[in-house]
Chains A and B, each alone.
Chain A
């Protein structure tokens, strides 16, 4: 069965303290791996799609990378406004979509 596991469940950082979020997955034929940001009381907001191992994408302080078993979301010099829950999702070859439970990030000023 397809599985997506995110770690840690929660992460508290000081402003400027870089770190990484992990998304481990098992899927029958990866069509794509997605990262979303979700703020309290709002729907998920798309960040990145990665398609194959070795691929990297960047947006401001965020950088997503992909291997055959996991993806990392690196946050460089985070700011308080980066505080949110970050969701990872994988899409299998049959188009089934499975989301991870998310990592709740808090960045303290």
Chain B
């Protein structure tokens, strides 16, 4: 398997624009996670899905952020409108089984977002 695939790898946009980040999890994995990493706050869990259903979105910073998983092989994280403080590296991860310890999360390479 190619692992978790994220696109684009880099995104530069202007404040107020809509941004869509994409993720393809490892085939057969039933959990998908979206994280954000910044120097100030480190790695933070934004939302996770189980069998395409959002389970916990308590980490989503505000209503400008939304995530969907229309099928088992694709998820999107959308920011509308984007703001400079959204600049960060966004990671997608997937696992087989729940978000707890026995089930290893495999991370994608991330999308580096810069909002000017």
Task: Sort chain B's interface into a size bin.
Answer: 20 to 34
| Contact A32 B109, beta carbon cutoff 8 Å | no
| Contact B42 A95, beta carbon cutoff 8 Å | no
Within 8 A of A (CB), among B22-56: 42-45, 56
| Contact B109 A44, beta carbon cutoff 8 Å | no
The tally of residues in A whose CB lies under 8 Å from a CB in B reads 20
Cβ 8 A contact of A45, one of B43, B99, B107 = B107
Q: With A32-B101, A34-B101 in contact, is A42–B45 under 8 Å at CB?
A: no
Within 8 A of B (CB), among A30-60: 31-32, 34, 41-46, 49, 51
Confirm or deny: B82 has a beta carbon within 8 angstroms of a beta carbon on chain A: no
| Contact B42 A101, beta carbon cutoff 8 Å | yes
Query: Which residues of A have CB within 8 Å of B101?
Result: 31-32, 34, 49, 51, 91
A105 CA to B105 CA, complexed, in Å: 22
Contact surface of A with B, Cβ cutoff 8 Å:
31-32, 34, 41-46, 49, 51, 87, 89, 91, 95, 97, 99-102
Chain A to chain B: the 6 pairs with minimum beta-carbon distance, closest first:
A43-B107, A32-B101, A99-B43, A49-B101, A101-B42, A46-B104
Contact surface of B with A, Cβ cutoff 8 Å:
4, 42-45, 56, 91, 93, 98-102, 104-110
